[in-house]
Amino acid sequence: MLIRRMPKPALRPFVRMLWASDGKDLATTPHRERVVPTGTMHLAFRLSDHPLRLFEDAAATLARIVGHVVVGGARSSFYVREVFGGERSVGVQLHPGAAAVLFGVPCDELAERHTPLEQVWSPTALRMRDRLGATGNLEEQLDVLESMLAARLPRVPFVAPERVISQTTVAALQSGLVYGFAGQVDAIVGRITDELGVRDVPVVATGGLADLIAPHSASITAVDQELTLHGLRIVWERNRS
């Protein structure tokens, strides 16, 4: 059985899709499979005994053994791999820009080839495979892989970048965090005012990030970090009387 799902929001700028397979839907007899290019990168953990074996073509007798944990760079042509029935594996399909963030190398250094993940993440790769292999069902494997990838994301200062259209990974993340959240606020405020049939109402922001988001929102009219306390005071005064 093969399952797929979208990643959590924090990973979506880098991960297109997560997948896991128990290999039970594959033919039991080992065979070769031609894989056509998709233009994307892949990260795969092979949890069964067989490492990834690649061939120049379907008739080749000599295989190149890559390993059990592999980064597949974006390709412009097909490749041939050996497939075994009952082969357990879990992995992700990545956006091209993910290489610099998750692997610390430009995507062109990984393009047109398969690279053992140990060359990029050192012993961490094998520890991750062991952890995934000890996980029972496919959904849990995706949860574990997702958490491990999220842990590798860079820590990004929560500040507004100079431009919405950014030229670095950090600035792009900041743009999405700040301007994206401001857009969410404006959208929900717009829907609420439409539903209530009102216009030009005060919108007060509160919370730790209110001062950061408010200047970039078209709907927020004020910031009050003690708004919740004011509300509790009003409730207390009304109940007292």
The CATH number given to whatever domain includes residue 182 is: 3.30.420.40
Angle at 68 between CA 62 and CA 71, to 5 degrees: 90
Please tell me the total count of domains within the chain.
2
Domain that includes residue 124, residue range:
2-151
DSSP letter string over 30-84? -EEEEE---SSEEEEEE-SSPPEEEESSTT----EEEESEEEE---SS-EEEEE-
Pair (181, 146) in one structural domain:
no
Pair (104, 205) in one structural domain:
no
Pair (184, 100) in one structural domain:
no
Query: What is the Cα–Cα distance from 89 to 81, expressed in whole angstroms?
Result: 14
Pair (138, 233) in one structural domain:
no
Sheet bearing 79-83, strands edge to edge = 31-35, 79-83, 52-55, 64-67
Pair (36, 107) in one structural domain:
yes
What sign results for the dihedral spanned by CA atoms 165, 101, 110, 77? Answer: negative
As a three-state string, the secondary structure of 191-235 is HHHHHHCCCCCCCEECCCCHHHHHHHCCCCCEECCCHHHHHHHHH
Pair (208, 113) in one structural domain:
no
Pair (43, 100) in one structural domain:
yes
Flag whether 23 is in a domain: yes
Pair (29, 70) in one structural domain:
yes
Helix (H) or strand (E) holding 183: helix 169-196
Q: Which two tokens stand for residue 104?
A: 């610390």
Q: Name the pTM for this structure.
A: 0.68
Give per-residue pLDDT as tens, 137-154: 899 999 999 999 988 887
Give per-residue pLDDT as tens, 160-215: 888 898 887 778 878 888 999 999 999 999 999 999 999 889 999 998 889 999 99
Flag whether 126 is in a domain: yes
Among 96, 117, 151, residue at a domain's last position: 151
In single-letter form, the type of residue at position 70 comes to V
Q: Which two tokens stand for residue 48?
A: 């069964």
Give per-residue pLDDT as tens, 27-75: 667 788 888 888 889 999 998 888 888 988 888 888 888 999 999 988 8
Among 151, 177, 207, residue at a domain's last position: 151
Flag whether 164 is in a domain: no
Pair (114, 35) in one structural domain:
yes
Is a pLDDT exceeding 70 seen at residue 109? yes
